[in-house]
Amino acid sequence: NLRGVIFDLDGVIADTAVVHHAAWKKLAGEIGIPFDDSVGERLKGVDRRASLDILLEQAARTYSETEKEALASRKNDYYRQQIEGFGPQHLLPGARTAIESVRRAGLKTALASASRNAPLLLEKLGIADLFDYVVDANHIRHAKPDPEIFLAAARGLGLAPSECLGVEDAAAGIASIHSAGMKAVGIGQPQALAGADLLLPDVAAFDISRLTT
Ligand code: G6P
Ligand code: MG
C-alpha cells in the first residue's frame, strides 16, 4: 500500500541536470579531458567526488588528493555561479503540481538528493515547505546507488520502504531505490533508465491517481 513518495531533486524537480553537466564539461575542457554525453549521463545522481573520479578515468595522469579537492571545488564554483540566479522559474514544468497532487492524495512527500547544494536550491525554488522530510548529501555516508538515502527518507517519513515510491532521473538513483526495496519511477530516456518499474518522459506526466489505484 503506497503511503509516501520520495523525489530526487536534480533533473526531476529542478532544471539543474544541464547545469551540473555544463559545469563538469567546462572543468573537463580546462584540464584537457574528453567529455561526451555518455560520460555526462554516468555523472547523473552521483555525488561530487565520485563524479570527479569518473571524469578522471580519462585523464592522462594521476591527480593528488589536494588537486582533486581543488578540482571538485572549482566545479562547484561554476555550478553555484549559475544557481545564484535561480528562482521558481527553474522548476521543471509540472514539478510543483506533481508534488502537490501527492500531498492532496493524502500521501507523504520526501526529498532524497545527492547534492550538498539541495538546501540552497529548495530555498531558491520556493518549494521547501512541500516536503515532509528532506535528506541531502550532508546527512548520509553512502551515496547513490547505495540505498542509504532512500531508506533514511522513508524512516524520516515514519514509513516502511515497501510503502514508498522513489522518483529518479538517474541510473544510480533507480538502483538506490530498488536496493532500498521500493518501486522506482524513472523520469527520462529508456536507454538510461531501463530498470525503472514505470518510465515517464518528464515529471509533468507524473500522475499520482494512476499509481494509487
Ligand atoms: C545530484 C546530481 C549530480 C551531482 C550531485 C552532487 O545527484 O544529479 O550530478 O553531482 O547531485 O551535487 P553537489 O551539488 O553536491 O555537487
Ligand atoms: Mg537527479
Mean pLDDT score across all residues of the chain: 96
Query: Edge-to-edge strands of the sheet including 183-187?
Result: 133-136, 108-113, 4-7, 164-168, 183-187, 198-200
Grade residue 192 by pLDDT with cuts at 50, 70 and 90. Answer: confident
Q: Per-residue pLDDT averaged across 115-120, rounded? A: 97
Which ligand has the nearest atom to the CA of 114? 1
Share of the chain above pLDDT 90, in %: 96
Q: How far apart are CA 38 and CA 59, in angstroms?
A: 16
Q: Given this model, what pLDDT does residue 212 score?
A: 87
Residues lining ligand 2 (ion), CB within 5 A? Answer: 8, 10-11, 45, 169-170
pLDDT at 194: 86
What is the mean pLDDT of the segment spanning 106-124?
97
Residue 213 has pLDDT above 90, yes or no: no
Asked if the peptide bond before residue 145 counts as cis, ω within 30 degrees of 0, the response is yes
Question: For 19-69, how does the pLDDT look when each residue is reduced to its tens digit (9 = 90+)?
Answer: 999 999 999 999 999 999 999 999 999 999 999 999 999 999 999 999 999
pTM of the model: 0.96
Say what the ipTM of the complex is.
Answer: 0.98
| Helix, strand, coil shares, percent, the chain, to 5 | 50, 15, 35
DSSP string over 13-74: TBTTHHHHHHHHHHHHHHTT----HHHHHHHTT--HHHHHHHHHTT-SS---HHHHHHHHHH
Which ligand 1 atom lies nearest to the CA of residue 43? 9
47: annotated active-site residue: no
Catalytic site residue 10?
Answer: yes
Q: Are 4 and 163 in contact, with CB atoms under 8 Å apart?
A: yes
Residue 154 is predicted with a pLDDT of 98
* Beta carbon of 72 within 6 Å of any ligand 1 atom: no
- Structure confidence at residue 163 as a pLDDT band (50, 70, 90): very high
- Given the C-alpha cell 527518507, which residue does it identify? 153
